[in-house]
Amino acid sequence: MNNRPNQRQNNPLSSLLQNILGGGGGQNQQGPPPGAPFPHGGGPPPGPPPKFSPKQSPASMQATANAGTYAVDPGAIRPCVGKYVYIWLRGGYSFWAWLTFVGRRSVAGYRWTGHRWVYFGIDRRQIVSFVCY
């Protein structure tokens, strides 16, 4: 048995960023984990996302300025399943995604790294705004 302490600390923010930004060590980042719930099929997108990055609208930024327990409504983001969607997160991160699942508390799908699609999942409360195409 190895008695050395784990060198990777279990930091929730670090775990969130690794999941969003595609760093997962030895984890399979090419697709969803076995047994993931995909009621509509939900594979990767047919190709890369659009070549532009949309600007976040001032209205959506104002609506989240007092974001205490704000979360994106699942009914609002559900039509983006199977479409290209640009997502803005708390903390200023933004990226193109292809959603395959929208649940009560989370969304999942594929995130564009700039070169390839990687599987990700995130709590809806981290999403500030989004736009789908």
pLDDT tens digits, 61-87: 544 444 444 578 999 999 999 999 999
How buried is 80 (Cβ within 10 angstroms: 0-12 exposed, 13-18 middle, 19+ buried)? buried
Q: Which residue has tokens 């995909």?
A: 38
| Helix (DSSP H) and strand (DSSP E) numbers for the chain | 3, 5
Separation between Cα atoms, residue 100 and residue 44, nearest integer Å? 8
Average pLDDT, integer, range 47-69: 70
**How many whole angstroms from its chain centre is CA 72?**
13
Reported pTM: 0.67
Half-sphere exposure of 119 (CA within 13 A, CB side): 16
Q: What is the pLDDT of residues 23-40, one digit of tens each?
A: 444 444 455 555 444 444
- Checking if the pLDDT of 7 tops 90, the result is no
Phi, psi of 24, deg, nearest 5: -140, 15
* Least reliable range by pLDDT among 35-44, 50-59, 123-132: 35-44
